[in-house]
Amino acid sequence: MSETLTKSRLYTEKAGARLGAVVHGIDARQPLDEEQKEFLRKELVRNKVIFLKKQFLDDAQHEALSRVFGEPILHPTIAAPEGTKYTFELKSRHGRSTDSWHTDVTFVPDYPKASILRAIHIPPYGGGTIWANTATAYDDLPQPLKNFADTAWGIHSNDYDTNYYKFDGKKGEIAAFRAEFLSKLFVTEHPVVRVHPESGERTLVLGHFIIGLDGFPTREARALVEILQGYITQVENTVTWRWEEGDVAIWDNRATQHYAPADFDQQRRELRRITVKGDVPVSIDGRHSSFVSRP
């Protein structure tokens, strides 16, 4: 069932059962009025990830769209491409993609509120992105697991166990990227369950940047995280977007994880992302996330 604002012909079309909607009636190449901006912000919180088809934005238009949701920020360690201020470039390198479930940049306390990603070049097959709803995942937990998660704290770092080992043939290139990614080392403590500042929902803060649980040995922490993570990534809790060039995806980074399957062989895949400044997560008992260590 679509939701329509008859005055401006803005409406959404569901893309998945638990999250995801296509927004119609927006041309992000043009300046947006306040009604359009408020509609996008409301639908983002409601649907967790929203899609705008065939926008074909340039870098300046991409930045302007990101400002609808907050203040654009630069990645903590990766420089923006020449000619841009805030862009994070996602270019396939010999079939590589971020094929690991994560929430963007959780290795800092005030990790991004939202991410705005646009497709520049999409391979002829594969190359999609999958999102998962971390609020419905929390709701699915049995009460004993909720009791544990409600009081647990996770340790997150950009020095995490990546999947770069898959690409042994390009070790030099991968090493160069990893060296830049780790040029500044961050370690942050987050509640495993945060309270969403707009919806009031409880969402799970996990993903591939988590390296441990406060108070738990490594082996036990990994087992517990894997159990909780499994509720996030169950297929019924996800939505998949099959990109076309020009598409834009915007996700609430406080209530989702995402994954980009490396299923496009050696084909070219290029997208650009801008993130906007986030708030510091608050636990159920009112404690805030904080750095454990920083550069």
Q: Per-residue confidence at 7, pLDDT binned at 50, 70, 90? A: very low
Q: Which of 45, 51, 17, 50 is closest to 236 using CA atoms?
A: 17
- The residue that leads in pLDDT, 176 or 157, is 157
Q: What angle do CA 161, 165, 168 make, to 5 degrees?
A: 160
Q: Per-residue confidence at 90, pLDDT binned at 50, 70, 90? A: very high
User: Residue 19, SS3?
Assistant: coil
Residues classed as catalytic: 102, 104, 258, 273
pLDDT tens for 190-211 read: 999 999 999 999 999 999 999 9
User: Residue 244, SS3?
Assistant: coil
Please report, rounded to a whole number, the percentage of residues in the chain having pLDDT higher than 90. Answer: 86
pLDDT tens for 35-63 read: 999 999 999 999 999 999 999 999 999 99
- The residue that leads in pLDDT, 3 or 178, is 178
What is the tally of structural domains in the chain? 1
Cβ neighbours, 10 Å, residue 106: 28
Report the mean per-residue pLDDT for the chain: 93
Angle between helix 218-233 and 143-151 (nearest 10): 120
DSSP of 89-102:
EEE-STT----S-B
The reported pTM is 0.93
Q: What CATH number should be reported for the domain holding residue 103?
A: 3.60.130.10
- pLDDT at 128 (0 to 100): 97
- pLDDT at 95 (0 to 100): 76
pLDDT tens for 253-284 read: 999 999 999 999 999 999 999 999 999 999 99
- pLDDT at 197 (0 to 100): 98
Where in the sequence is the domain holding 56, given as residue range(s)?
Answer: 3-293
